Amino acid sequence: MRDLATPWALDLGASPLAPSAVRFRVWAPRATTVGVRLVGRDRPLVPLTPSDGGYFEGVVADAPPGSRYRYVLDGRVERPDPASRFQPEGVHGPSEVIDPIGFRWSDESWHGLPLDRMIIYELHVGTFTPAGTYEAIIPRLGYLGGELGVTAIELMPVAQFPGARNWGYDGVYPFAPQASYGGPPGLKRLIDACHAGGLAVIVDVVYNHLGPEGNYLADYGPYFTDRYRTSWGQAINYDGPDSDEVRHYIVSNALYWITEYHVDGLRLDAIHGIYDVGARHILAEIADAVHAEADRLGRIVHVVAESDLNDVRVIAPRAEGGYALDGQWNDDFHHALHTVLTGEHTGYYRDFGRFDQLATAIRDGFVYSGQRSPYRRRRHGSPSRNRPPSRFVVYAQNHDHVGNRARGERLSALVPHTALKVAAATVLLGPNIPLLFMGEEYAETTPFLYFVDHGNPVLVEAVRKGRTAEFASFGWQGEIPDPQSPRTFERSRLARDGPLAPAQAAMLAWHRKLIALRTSIQALGAASATTHTVWAWESERVLVIHRRGADGSEALLILGFAPTPATVKIHEPAGTWHRRLDANEAPFGGPGPAARSPSTLDITPEGAEVALPGYPALVFLSGRS
């Protein structure tokens, strides 16, 4: 346990010392000797001194920031630094010395955002702008935070991956921001600009595996284990022999992002691929370390997991045997919403499609909380009903559920705009933490495809075959775009390069209005307790949601998921309700006043009959609010 009064500093890799010397430290128990070779310098190999635990370390004079280097293992094998802060020539090239305190931050007054105030916008750096760089995002921050109103951006993984095109989940240098995106300076400028504009930054990190190309960690030590296997390759060694040092490497990475890059949250990718049977799970160790360092820094930093386990231990407090993460993604919500809107029931959607499941996801969190899953052919999940809704991140779209379709179709290609508006209201006005996928707010029509830029032809072919096999259970027909083709990558760029089409402008106006309501009316924000009631009309495909805020405000949402008109009789909550928002209004692409719902809704014990159009999305506020 480290002394929290002492500022944390990375003790791995290249650490500059005054005036131009560098301290190198690397864990390499599989090597007998380790030396440092400065690239492009006519200097002899500098040997490092072995120390306890399989580490090698030493100081090299005259290696200022910008110097490039490799480690030499046993006098013959040259490898980049496992803790490299920058790989300017890619995954096979030398590492570069970076001064961790050389950047001049201007965010001293920024302390982060509570999770319940986050409206998250997930983006892929390479396809969000034509330039595909960190700094190219900066001019669009005013749009994101000001015009649209989101409060946090979530970057898909930025750790150095092979080539220039990748989703980021093939990263092999966890400490090195992708060079083709702009490297360390570009990422720091982006985060500093986000904080200046009041936006939090979440970085997606991958602690379940490393990518296959440029992955040299096994030459250094037992970073991986054959005791487990992930869907993406070798599992990381969190609980076997020598795992203490592997855990230190991963926990150091988490602390690195929040200290050297000032990020406000980590999204842990696919924790169901993290295997640890030790007494203290690595997820708990990461969460504890991050929260302790955030407290020392006087900041709010969140750790949020992606998990398909439906295991409440992820977010349960330590006193209840949980890992005490701040939140987790809820795929059950997405699957329930997606199947109701699209009618798809193949692949992992097989478990979903009943209308009551959507009501369950909104009311309770997990749909599968211990019952049998037909897709998994076993019981699945644990009850989440008593967990705060604000611990769950929900979405109608994200990179996975768009990009892992055979042709990367967005929801805008699958359902009409009227249905998109209902989906947006369900996500943005619910009690959970909402997430939008880039372009969703204006119904972007370009696909988001899976793309890679591997240098190994055998690996490229393996990726192609793997994608084809992955889609078999969905029954999707037609040609699958080649992941290796630059064209696949270019097709995935956002197409917004001028004025929006009228329908897209209306969709953007709808999202802006929903976000404005969420942030101004407490009853429509994230809930720290279960303060909402959900009623479902199965045959009419209508949900009524009553939400209550701690300040006494109340809201009634009427959401319809069928294209045909319907009439429902609402018996509660009693009172007079005033219409605040209607998706049929003209600014949102609707027909206008003639098709609007009543301006007031009087609910008595006898009930109030409400005639609804196809795909209604209505917000009423209580006369007491």
Q: Any idea which residues carry the catalytic annotation?
A: 269, 306
**In this structure, what token pair is assigned to residue 345?**
């029931």
Burial-class residue 303 by CB neighbours within 10 Å (0-12, 13-18, 19+): buried
Label residue 33 exposed, middle or buried (CB < 10 Å: 0-12, 13-18, 19+). Answer: middle
At a CB cut-off of 8 Å and minimum separation 6, what does 508 contact? 148, 441, 442, 500
Provide the 8-state DSSP code for 500: P
Q: Is the dihedral of CA 605, 608, 614, 616 positive or negative?
A: negative
Q: Which of 554, 613, 555 is nearest to 589 (CA)?
A: 613
Amino acid (one-letter) located at 232: W
* CA distances for 221 relative to 105, 159, 194, angstroms: 36, 20, 38
Give ∠ CA 71-235-327 in degrees, rounded to 5: 110
Number of other residues whose CB lies within 10 A of the CB of residue 557: 23
Can you give the three-state secondary structure of 557-607, one letter per residue?
EEEECCCCCEEEEECCCCEEEEEEEECCCHHHCCCCHHHCCCCEEEECCCC
Beta bridge partners of 620: 556, 579
> How many CB atoms sit inside 10 A of residue 128's CB?
22
Q: Which residue has the tokens 């440092």?
A: 36
